[in-house]
Amino acid sequence: MKQNIKKIALLTGGGDCSGLNAVIRAVVRTAILKYGYEVVGFMGGYHGLYLDEYMDMTISTVSGIFHQGGTILKNSNKDNLFNFRMEDEFGNVVYKDVSDVAIANLKKHGVDALVIIGGDGTLTSARDFARKGINVVGIPKTIDNDVPATDITFGYRTALDHIMLALDALHTTAFSHDRVMILEVMGRNAGWLALEGGISGSADVILIPEIPYDIQKVAQKVIDRYKRGSKFTILCVSEGAKPIDGDVTVKMIDKTSADSVRLGGVGELIGEQLRKLVSPVTGQDVRYTNLGYIQRGGVTNAFDRVLGTKYGSYAVDMIARGDFGQMVTVKNDRMSTVFIEDVVGGGKMGETSRGGARRVNPQGDLVNAAKDIGVVFGD
């Protein structure tokens, strides 16, 4: 239902990624130039909404930010205002629902609609604000490319570029020293980054969460290549990869974050195993590199600049139409919408979670193409 919109707000929650500034720019320019809205941006995601830390957004505010990675509004991934971590008068850690404080801040500024940009945790809170009567529009954000209901998220393609360049660089050292080189990349429980990054970077072995691996088969691939005269091997490993009859490798538990489990280290573990299985046979050294946060930053590529623009512009069109409680999606290269509840859970499609995220099809075209050219997945 259309409403009389005069002022909108936006925030960027969760982790950063390339393309966020492109989205911010598109939201602000579309809101001002097309609809004549006022725009305010809350700093540091929900944290800024709670503390009422904000900046007025104008055309000049978003000038020159298009190419920049990260977000001029800053990020925070530790602030669930419906279960906010704080200390009581005795210094004990307690959790309280402080969402009404955020709602009061929106009303104080005369905000008629709120654009929330983030992943599943951020969008879950967006759903909860919508249930409390706030006019919310969601924009999905993650380099993992695993948000249900949309074909692609901005930041993913720029991250792939970083992975490809890293693998290209590792190839020169691997070839020069006859080494086995392992690159661990992000992705959590979805293997898109490792799969497409590995294919584009000519990896010989790609390990993803959707296909549990047998370390013996991985080792045999390395040995077979060596015996054929290819005395180096490149592995691209997703942080969520796990062995057959095994589990993911957990780096740490961060109890201050809504997404407390931090994956990491599986590449190093695989390196240790390959040193025992391969080095005595081939004499090769095995080295491990974790690409880490490099894949989340840097200059935004052309694809993500355009995609971010489409997401941001369409979100403001949704506000003008009154499509609240919904998230922008891309389906078959066309912009569309879906109810946020049907993405994060609690809607007609039923509860979803990371386990129900958009994941790689182990029998899909990408995996089959990789196998056709000799890539081993350890299965």
Name the 3-class secondary structure at 369: helix
What is the structure's pLDDT at 260?
62
- Indicate the pLDDT class of residue 146, thresholds 50, 70 and 90: very high
H or E segment and range at residue 21: helix 20-29
Q: Which of 16, 79, 120, 144 is catalytic?
A: 144
- pLDDT of 75 reads 85
Q: What is the mean pLDDT of the chain?
A: 92
Question: Is 354 strand, coil or helix?
Answer: helix
Per the DSSP assignment, residues forming a β-bridge with 274 are none
pLDDT at site 257: 60
125 pLDDT more than 80 = yes
pLDDT digits (tens, 9 = 90+) for 316-344: 999 999 999 999 999 999 999 999 999 98
Q: Evaluate if residue 231 carries a pLDDT over 90.
A: yes
pLDDT > 50? residue 63: yes
Percent above pLDDT 70 for the chain: 94
Looking at residue 354, its pLDDT comes to: 39
Q: What is the pLDDT of residue 349?
A: 39
Mean per-residue pLDDT, 67-90: 87
In the chain, the domains with their CATH numbers are: 7-154+300-348 (3.40.50.450), 160-297+361-372 (3.40.50.460)
Longest dimension (CA), the chain: 73
Q: What is the mean pLDDT of residues 209-222?
A: 97
pLDDT reported for residue 89: 81
- Residues 246-264 as b/e (b if ≥16 CB within 10 A, e otherwise) read eebbeeeeeeebbeeeebb
126-136 in b/e form (b: 16+ CB < 10 A) is bbbbbeeebbb
Query: For 240-279, what is each residue's pLDDT tens digit?
Result: 999 998 888 887 666 666 566 777 889 999 999 999 999 9
Percentage of the chain surpassing pLDDT 90? Answer: 80
Per-residue pLDDT at 348 exceeds 60: no
Q: Which of 1-5, 166-170, 308-312, 362-366 has the lowest mean pLDDT?
A: 1-5
Annotated catalytic residue 144? yes
